Amino acid sequence: MNRFGWLEWIVKANRPLMFCENTFARRYSSLEPISVETLRALLEGITRSVEADVAAEPPDAFGIMFDGWTHSSEDFVAVFAYCEDNGIAKSALLSMAPVINGLDEDPSARIHRDFLAGMLEQDFDNCSANRRLATIMLVPLVGCASHRLNRAVQQHMTQNENDFAAVQGLMTKLRTIKHPKASFALLEFLDQDDEELMYLLPCPAYNRQLKKLYADFKDFESVLKALQGENVSLLDVRVWFDGLIEAQPAFAAYIAPRANIVHTPDFELGCVRVLKGNGARLTASEKRALRPFLQVDRAPVNHGEEAETDSLVQRLEKRRRLEAREARYCLVGSIPATSNKVEGFFSVARATLGYERNGLQPIPLEMVLFLRENSR
């Protein structure tokens, strides 16, 4: 337990591997001193053990979410596995490794394709390389909902940049106020003929517009915060986005079901129908997109209610309707609607490769992050 205590302390507290040889850490800790060589050997051994546990957990069918990250001219790809356990989505880090092995290679979609050969359904951010990668791999692409909403909000801000410029000028002046409470108490005594002050204050029309923008941004903020939650499904996102489109029709260019930014609209719409419980109403194109996720139910169908007077066609139609209701699609409920998990993981990786760890090689870095992410 002594060596494991050092390893757990260093991994979870984000300390450098040399921390176990730090004079003060040894002095003020009850753990027995160990060398960094011993710690590295323990790190490798436990990593192999956790890898075996993670490999034994996912079922035969599971999904993949990945994204790329560049640090000091080194390109990394983080790969997460998503699966369902009794209807609950579970994830595990599979890899955090450099995607380029030679100086003559480039971070193209084909390099990523080779890196992820054999993977299943993907969840990416909405960049062109990821769209191209999904196309050449012949798999559906579920874009990051947070990214799509950010694009829509940015366009909304561009259309109202004059209003924001007026607010910025006023805020620049207000930053000089040291005692805001006292200043508000003097509001009724302000000189209404002060041209310099009146120049900064927005006119009544601007006031109405700014109040409307404030209400709009409160709505945007509520959806953005909701997207940061755990277990956000594609159905959740579709309901929230439809509500935003109803209030802001211009947002449809980015968050509508068939917006140009959506790589595989039939797949996303099909997932939404299934999550609603309307799997029997899938269109032909949606069924084709969801065919790899179709779970065949081999249980016998009960035809006991068939009347003896029913014709052959009537009996066959009844059976077809029963089979349509029994069609089930696996993994649809565990598909993440955002890539926030990967973005958060990259933030941890950036902190891990801090000033004290810039010399950490990719393999030890991957082991540290692997153990930290997959700790129970």
Give yes or no for residue 325 having a pLDDT over 60: no
Q: Name which of 111-125, 146-160, 282-296 the model is least confident about.
A: 111-125
Q: Are 286 and 257 in contact (CB under 8 A)?
A: no
Task: Please tell me whether residue 128 adopts helix, strand or coil conformation.
Answer: helix
Task: Select the more confidently predicted residue: 56 or 259.
Answer: 259
What pLDDT, on the 0 to 100 scale, is given for residue 373? 85
Smallest CA-to-CA distance from 38 within 51, 20, 22 is with 20
Name the most confidently modeled range: 271-275, 337-341, 363-367.
Answer: 271-275
Residue 375 Cα to chain centre, angstroms: 20
User: Which one-letter DSSP state was computed for residue 259?
Assistant: -
pLDDT band at residue 153 under the 50/70/90 scheme: very high
C-beta atoms surrounding 42 within 10 Å: 15
Give yes or no for residue 124 having a pLDDT over 50: no
Give yes or no for residue 127 having a pLDDT over 60: no
CATH of domain 63-145+334-367: 3.30.420
Virtual torsion, Cα 252, 257, 258, 262, nearest 10 deg: 100
> What pLDDT, in 10s, does the model give residues 234-269?
999 999 999 999 999 999 999 999 998 888 889 999
pLDDT band at residue 218 under the 50/70/90 scheme: very high
What is the amino acid identity at position 207? N
Q: How far apart are CA 122 and CA 112, in angstroms?
A: 12
Q: How far apart are CA 136 and CA 60, in angstroms?
A: 24
* DSSP H helices in the chain: 2-12, 23-27, 36-56, 109-115, 128-137, 145-159, 161-174, 180-185, 195-200, 204-227, 234-247, 252-255, 265-276, 284-290, 312-326, 340-352, 362-373
For the chain, give the mean pLDDT: 78
What pLDDT, on the 0 to 100 scale, is given for residue 109? 47
C-beta atoms surrounding 264 within 10 Å: 18
What is the amino acid identity at position 160? N
What pLDDT, on the 0 to 100 scale, is given for residue 224? 93
* pTM of the predicted model as reported, rounded to 2 decimal places: 0.69
What pLDDT, on the 0 to 100 scale, is given for residue 76? 80
pLDDT band at residue 122 under the 50/70/90 scheme: very low
Structural tokens at position 132:
């191209």
Task: Select the more confidently predicted residue: 233 or 68.
Answer: 233
What pLDDT, on the 0 to 100 scale, is given for residue 355? 54
Q: Name which of 35-49, 123-137, 242-256 the model is least confident about.
A: 123-137
Q: Are 290 and 332 in contact (CB under 8 A)?
A: yes
- Average pLDDT of the segment spanning 63-67: 77
> Percentage of the chain surpassing pLDDT 90?
18
Residue 215 Cα to chain centre, angstroms: 26
What pLDDT, on the 0 to 100 scale, is given for residue 310? 73
Smallest CA-to-CA distance from 119 within 75, 78, 81, 77 is with 81
What pLDDT, on the 0 to 100 scale, is given for residue 247? 92
> What pLDDT, in 10s, does the model give residues 301-319?
454 555 566 788 877 877 7
Tell me the C-alpha to C-alpha distance, in Å, between residue 238 and each of 124, 151, 235: 17, 16, 5
